[in-house]
Amino acid sequence: MKFCGLLLGLLTSSLLVRAQYFSAGWTPGQPVAPNPTGTPAATASYVPGSPDQQGSGTKQSGGFSGFLSKLGFDIAKTLEQPKLWDKRIPLITDENYNDMIVNEPLTEQEEKDRIWALIITVTASRQEGISKIMDQIFDAAYNETVIAGDLPNVRWGRIDYINVTYLTTKWNVWSAPFLVILRNRGQELRFYKGHHLRLKETALREFLQTEDWKYTPIWSSPYAPGGEREYILHFIATWMTTIYNLVASIPRWLFYILSGGLASLILNILHRKQPAPRQQQQQQQNRPGPPAPTPSAQPAQPTPPVPEAGTSSATSPSSSSNQSKAKKRKK
């Protein structure tokens, strides 16, 4: 009975709700509404999605980039690297150095006046600090020079220390940051360490305008360009570039596996257990001794003859003395 009463109540309420949508119909004198000829314009409205829908794209992209980063492809680093520096300053690499600097098409007068201001930086490797400050000062000085246009003979360039191997090795540069003043198509080099410079963009511009770099001696060691031992650094730089290109082509996950396996092998060799002294003694005792020499047949040696008492020619000293005494008595 209770179920039947509940069902009857639900039916009644549904009929009342449906009755609210019944039209009263057309009454005489009421104007007829014109039929719409076009499609009704939809009202522009923004319906925010759920948090899961909003973050689905980010999660998918993050998961994909994370998957690729595990395979050795760092997409985030590749996309963020161009934002570190001013794109108007060209990057000097091992591949374009000869084309841009050594073989630059210049007249005789332009070649005498040409100055290259190069900065060697490590900001791309996230080793910031003074390298990042020097990058900012270098970019600001370049921007002011472009606006002023007062240094037409100076060209600017940047060298990424992490990705350039041949040039830095051939120039005997093993740390960064460095400011390099290059002239005579790379035959005259002057190096300035970042810690020894005044970190202001105006100071860098004045340094180039007044040509104070002329007071610094040119790198003129036997390993410098044109030196007697230049070929040594050239040989080392060539081999280091080959090794770097080979290692860089290995995916990161495979490099981790190989380096970890090699490290564990070296540790096992260095920390292998040595037997205790007692065990060494027992092992030495248990080892079989050298075999005994076999008896060899030797020829019998002849025994010396035994002299007889009456016929022996050799007499003892006491008997000879007794005989001499007896002879004296007979006389």
Domain containing 109 — which CATH number? 3.40.30.10
Q: Which domain holds residue 127?
A: 79-246
96 within a domain of the structure (yes/no): yes
- Residue 142: the pLDDT is 94
The total number of structural domains in the chain stands at: 1
> pTM, whole model, 2 decimals?
0.56
Intra-chain end-to-end CA distance of the chain, in Å: 184
State whether residue 58 is helix, strand or coil: helix
In contact, 131 and 121? CB cutoff 8 Å: yes
pLDDT digits (tens, 9 = 90+) for 263-282: 999 988 888 776 666 666 67
Tell me whether residue 5 is in a domain.
no
Summarised one tens digit per residue, pLDDT across range 241-267 is: 999 888 888 888 888 898 889 899 998
Say how far apart CA 93 and CA 168 lie, in whole Å. Answer: 10
Residue 127 lies inside a defined structural domain of this protein? yes
148 in any annotated domain: yes
Q: Are 134 and 147 in contact (CB under 8 A)?
A: no
Rounded Cα distance between 184 and 213, Å, is: 14
Q: Which residues contact 313 (CB under 8 A, 6 or more apart)?
A: 307
Q: Among the listed ranges 88-102, 211-225, 239-253, which one has the minimum average pLDDT value?
A: 239-253
More confident residue, 108 or 313: 108
